[in-house]
Homo-oligomer: A and B are copies of this chain.
Amino acid sequence: MSTLGFERHNHARCIRSAVDAADALCATRGLRFTPLRRRVLELIWQCHRPVGAYDLLDQLKSERDGAAPPTAYRALDFLMENGLIHRIESLNAFVGCTHPDAPHQSQFLICTSCHRVAELSDPAIERQIDTKASGAGFQPERQTLEVTGTCDACAVTR
Number of copies: 2
The answer to whether B137 and A129 have CB atoms under 8 Å apart is no
Q: Mask for A118-148, Cβ within 8 A of B = 1, else 0?
A: 1010101100110011001111111111111
**Of A35-43, A50-58, A150-158, the one with at least 4 CB within 8 A of chain B:** A150-158
The answer to whether A144 and B3 have CB atoms under 8 Å apart is no
Interface residues of A, count at CB 8 A = 36
Closest CB of chain B to A114's CB: distance in Å?
12
Lowest 8 CB-CB distances: which A-B pairs, in order?
Answer: A137-B152, A3-B137, A89-B89, A141-B149, A140-B149, A139-B150, A144-B146, A89-B90
Interface status of A84 (Cβ within 8 A of chain B): no
A110 to B11, CA, bound (A): 37
The answer to whether A137 and B89 have CB atoms under 8 Å apart is no
Q: Known contacts A90-B89, A132-B125, A133-B109: does B138 contact A143 (CB below 8 Å)?
A: no
Residue numbers in B under 8 Å from A2 (CB-CB): 137
